Structure 1
Amino acid sequence: MEAFLVSTGIVALAEIGDKTQLLSFVLAARYQKPWPIVWGILAATLANHAFAAAVGTWITGVLGPDVLRWILGLSFIAMAAWIMVPDKLDEGEPCTLRFGVFGTTLAAFFLAEMGDKTQIATVALAAQYGAFAAVVLGTTLGMMIANVPAVLVGGRLAERMPVRLVHGVAAVVFLALGIAALVGWGLEGSS
Structure 2
Amino acid sequence: MHLKGLWPASGAVCIFLTVSALAQSNSVGCRAETLHDPERTALTCPNGVRIVAEDGTRFSLVDRTAAEGPEAVRLEGQALMLEVTPGAVEGGFEVITPQAIAAVRGTKWAVDVVNGKTSVFVAEGRVAVSREAGAPVVELGHGDGVDVETGTEPLAVRQWGAARVAALLARFGE
Smaller-chain TM-score range? under 0.3
Flag the structure with more relative contact order, 1 or 2, with Cα contacts below 8 A and sequence separation at least 6: 1
**What is the TM-score when the length of structure 1 is the normalising length?**
0.24
**What is the TM-score when the length of structure 2 is the normalising length?**
0.25
Larger radius of gyration: 1
